[in-house]
Amino acid sequence: AQSVTQLGSHVSVSEGALVLLRCNYSSSVPPYLFWYVQYPNQGLQLLLKYTSAATLVKGINGFEAEFKKSETSFHLTKPSAHMSDAAEYFCAVTGRNQGGKLIFGQGTELSVKP
């Protein structure tokens, strides 16, 4: 069985500050992990994914995430927040032979203050 927990349903940062969105997973098989972003009234867009290669993954828009097996974590970071980063962020997990079935966390809404 697989599950994802995102700590903090809402995170607020100032423009230019570090963004840290937390994701912890549980998986009985080697996990593949994803971060998606959803802007208001839009579909989901992939930010980055971990597929068992490099543990530090770089994505679009300056985001990156580090897979830490010992901590079962895949936290998303960005050194400097932009106003345009305000959105809902979803962490998701799947595994081999899962048919690509994504199990999502409950989402974290990121607000960016000027």
Partner 1 sequence: DTAVSQTPKYLVTQMGNDKSIKCEQNLGHDTMYWYKQDSKKFLKIMFSYNNKELIINETVPNRFSPKSPDKAHLNLHINSLELGDSAVYFCASRSGTSGGGALSTDTQYFGPGTRLTVL
| Side-chain-facing half-sphere of 30: CA atoms under 13 Å | 6
DSSP 79-104: SS--GGG-EEEEEEEEETTSTT-PEE
Nearer to partner 1, 70 or 97 (CB): 97
Stretch that binds partner 1, among 14-22, 35-43, 62-70, 71-79 (CB under 8 A): 35-43
Whole-angstrom distance, CA of residue 88 vs CA of residue 106:
10
- Does position 59 interact with partner 1 (CB under 8 A)? The reply is no
Residue 37 structure tokens: 């972003």
Q: Are 104 and 6 in contact (CB under 8 A)?
A: no
Contact pick of 5, 22, 24, 44 for partner 1 (by CB under 8 A): 44
User: From the CB of 67, what's the least distance to partner 1, in Å?
Assistant: 13
Name the DSSP class of 72.
T
- Does position 104 interact with partner 1 (CB under 8 A)? The reply is yes
Query: Pairing between strand 2-7 and 56-58?
Result: unpaired
Nearer to partner 1, 15 or 24 (CB): 24
Contact pick of 5, 7, 86, 95 for partner 1 (by CB under 8 A): 95
Under the rule (CB under 8 A), what is the footprint of partner 1?
32, 36, 38, 41-46, 49, 51-52, 88, 90, 94-104, 106-107
